[in-house]
Structure 1
Amino acid sequence: MRNYVTHEWFTIFTIIGLFAIVVAKYLNTLRFNDFMYVIGNSKYLKIYSKDQKFIDQFDSFLFINLSVSFSIFIYFTYSTFVSPLGFELVTFLKLLFAVSTIIIIKILLERLIGSLFEMDSVIDFYLFQKTTFKNFSGLIFLATNLFLLYTDRYTKGLIITCISVVCLINLIGFLTSFKTYQKLINPNFFYFLLYLCALEIGPYVLLYKVIREYNA
């Protein structure tokens, strides 16, 4: 998988992810520094959730890195555990588009649900929490991709470790949200489970099926 073309294109996309992070830090250095300590520290969530916008520049650039780095990671993971893939730019761009589209559609659907049930403030804060932890996961994907790109050793171990760390990060985010809204969730636990299946688990199952069918 690490032939010259693959190495070249993945390096270019990795640089795009790094550049997006640099721009995010340049736009708001203080916020970026607080963001780096979001795991185990609620300061970032408490301060910046109050100033969130529908389209936030800071989160937008971190989202660029998340989409690019997650797509590269999926490419490596699929090639390592399912079926070896040769790099094709068009295929990768389609994967990148699918990943970005699914994430954006999920956010829009959740905002729509919040509006329909008149829970805009709750949904906005919940989405900010979830987006923050997903963007932090993008940093983990980026760091892992650098190792996967430039070393042939411990590939499976690196991928499994990355997945475990990202799952742990998002579990922390989920528990943080659950604790915050526990009083609201408890009497509506059935609907909460439906939400998890439809909007949290379903889209990623769909993405996996799309990748499998495309490469069948």
Structure 2
Amino acid sequence: MFEVENITYLKNDWITYVFLVILLILSVLKILFNDRLINTTTFFLSKKNVFSYFNKEKQLFFNLFQVLFFIVQFLTFSLLLYFLNEFSQFNTVYSSLKLFFIIAISVIIYFSFRFLLGLFLAYIFDLNSVHKKITFSKINYFNILTLCILPFLVFTAYSQNLNDLPLKITFSIFIFLLIVRYTLFLANNKKLIINNLFYFILYLCALEIVPFVIILKLII
């Protein structure tokens, strides 16, 4: 039994390196953007401080803070999908590391497709300012969601003796936070949404449903 556990840990050493990369990036964010990081961690409770950056930054989505946080996001989300695959055995063809790379690339494609499609829809309907505000809000909600789920992912990765319980807890918390994120997003932007209802419905279908189906097809 001891030898089997050792083999499993050695096989999944790359997971530790992924967590170290995430920790390193968060440390850089802490050093370079301490106030912004603190404001991000309270975004579920108060969006005022984070939205103060909305008018300050010339590059809302391609500044250093958001780019670094995007790396943390896609690594975290890729790990979650990887653990879900390990639990459900959707794909057993590839080695663990190769499968993680496939998932990570799929996640990058997913986020990139959503962003580019959002820009296209905003351009077609001449709603660039609305799109920027909606996207800025959703990105920052996802930033705090990522920070919240990270400790549970670590717990999942190193609690193998508890079988699938840590993953169930992690995934349940992720779904709960996702619901909170969408609820707060709708509540805090209801006036904006009502005034642009057709665009928002199209935005919801094209950027939330279709890309999710595509990434499932790429992984499963």
Q: Is the alpha carbon distance of 1:103 and 1:155 closer, same or farther for their aligned partners in structure 2, counting shifts above 3 Å?
A: farther
Tell me which of 19, 27, 37 is aligned to 1:32: 37
Structure 1 pair 137–87 and aligned structure 2 pair: CA distance change class (3 A):
farther
Give 1:55 deviation, angstroms.
Answer: 0.5
Matched, 1:69 2:76: yes
The alpha carbon displacement at 1:123 in A equals 0.9
SS of 1:197's equivalent? helix
Look up the match of 1:131.
Answer: 139
Q: Which residue of the partner structure matches residue 96 of structure 2?
A: 88
Partner Cα separation in structure 2 for residue 105 and residue 76 of structure 1: 24
Alignment of 1:22-61 (within 5 A): 22-52=27-57, 53=59, 54-61=61-68
Structure 1 letter corresponding to 2:31: Y
Partner of 2:106 in structure 1?
Answer: 98
For residue 160 of structure 2, give the secondary structure of its aligned residue in structure 1: coil
Instruction: Give the whole-Å Cα distance in 2 for the aligned partners of 1:155 and 1:56.
Output: 41
Please say if residues 39 and 169 of structure 1, whose CA atoms lie closer than 8 Å, have aligned partners that are also in contact: no
Structure 1 residue 158, shift from structure 2 partner:
2.7
Aligned-partner Cα distance in 2 for 1:58–1:117:
29
Q: Determine the structure 1 residue equivalent to 2:200.
A: 192
Contact 1:24–1:57 (Cα < 8 Å) also in 2 = no
Structure 1: segments with no counterpart, 5+ residues: none
Paired residues for 1:196-207 under 5 Å: 196-207=204-215
Would you say 1:160 and 2:168 are equivalent positions? yes
Measure the CA separation in 2 of the matches of 1:34 and 1:20. 17
1:181 Cα deviation after fit:
3.8
* TM superposition shift of 1:183: 3.6
> What SS does the aligned partner of 2:25 have?
helix
Change (3 A) 1:6 1:133: farther
Q: Please give the secondary structure, in 2, of the residue aligned with 1:103.
A: helix
Of 51-60 and 30-39, deviating more is: 51-60
Consecutive unaligned residues in structure 2, runs of 5 or more: none
* TM-score calculated relative to the size of structure 1: 0.85
Q: 2:178 aligns with which of 170, 180, 195?
A: 170
Question: What is the rounded CA distance, in whole Å, between the counterparts of 1:99 and 1:67 in structure 2?
Answer: 6
RMSD across aligned positions (CA): 2.4
Partner Cα separation in structure 1 for residue 134 and residue 164 of structure 2 = 33
Name the counterpart of 2:159.
151
The equivalent of 1:107 in structure 2 is 115
Aligned length: 212
Contact 2:102 2:219 in 1 (8 A): no
Q: Which amino acid aligns with 2:26?
A: I
Counterpart selection for 1:20 from 25, 47, 58: 25
How much has 1:141 moved relative to structure 2? 3.5
Partner letter of residue 155 of structure 2? F
1:184 Cα deviation from its structure 2 partner: 4.5
Say which SS state the counterpart of residue 39 (structure 2) adopts. Answer: helix
3-state secondary structure, aligned to 1:50: coil
The Cα shift of 1:190 comes to: 5.3
Distance 2:105 2:23 in 1: 19
